[in-house]
Amino acid sequence: MTGICDGRVVVVTGAGRGLGRAHALAFAAEGAKVVVNDLGVGLDGAGTSSGPAQQVVDEITAAGGEAVAHGGDIATTHGASSLITAAVETFGRLDTLVNNAGFLRDRMLVNLDEDDWDAVMRVHLKGHFLPLKHAAAHWRAEAKAGHPVDGRVVNTSSGAGLLGSVGQGSYSAAKAGIIGLTLVAAAEMGRYGAQVNAIAPAARTRMTEQTFAETMAAPGEGQFDAMAPENVSPLVVWLGSVASAGVTGRVFEAEAGRITVMEGWREGPTADKGARWAPAEVGEAALKLLADAGPVRPVYGAGR
């Protein structure tokens, strides 16, 4: 197999199903050697199985590609470290890390248990941080040893992280945290030759199939399946390739055939007194600024 990732070694977390599976197959189709990480857990993170990761590996090898399964828990130091080691020991290098693993435990805030909050933060936010940390350490060592590094990291946020989502307080907070982590990593890891970006995908997966089943009919025969996870993967593959040189610290929305560069928090209307405000006068000033500002975008599920 040859393509824009020919010869690159790519690690994809949560690659046994859904978006991760689509990414792994797409990278392999473009010539990458792939480490397929997946714990094989249920939608809520319970249970484990080696089956999903191995099935993706079998698909890749059956098509003539190269892949290896990794079943470690990437939200632990050992699991994340062994993930990077698996790439280096199996294929001799690491070029691209795609952080994708996650699950849901949705509750309204008043019903959200502390354990469920911690579990979602652990898999999404810590499960991004630890592989990123160990990939960065590997690339730093390579750069210090005088070896050329052309690293790529693609993190997975969500529209819930950009706008919030009713009933998904923990998930929204974790996905927003991933954006902040992406910006910091992009600023820190450039010196090692690595670029870091994030995507906010919308696609039909185990986590979203109920939502899309309620809002969008399945495509007819021969029609474009707008919610297929495979629609997101081309952007991820490009970001993980050398073709994306110079692109870092960016967040992209990806859905169906549409990609959007998100511009994040930017300064809007401003008032500067040049001295400390009194509470009453700062309120008056703030109301004037809000009148000149754009409208607040509604949170998902809040009604429009």
* Residues marked as catalytic: 158, 171, 175
End-to-end CA distance of the chain: 47
CA distance 27 to 65: 10
> Which residue has tokens 């160990």?
134
Are 264 and 250 within 8 A, CB to CB? no
- To the nearest 10 degrees (0 to 180), the angle between helices 77-91 and 127-144 is 50
Neighbours of 203 (CB within 10 A): 23
Beta bridge partners of 114: none
For residue 72, give the H/E element and its range. Answer: none
CA distance 163 to 117: 19
- Two tokens at 194? 């690595």
CA distance 304 to 301: 8
Phi/psi for 98 (5° steps) reads -110, 110
CA distance 35 to 67: 6
Angle subtended at Cα 57 by Cα 96 and Cα 139, rounded to the nearest 5 degrees: 20
Task: Write the burial class of residue 62 (CB in 10 Å: 0-12 exposed, 13-18 middle, 19+ buried).
Answer: exposed
Q: Report the candidate in 55, 64, 46, 47 with the shortest Cα–Cα distance to residue 18.
A: 55
CA distance 105 to 240: 30
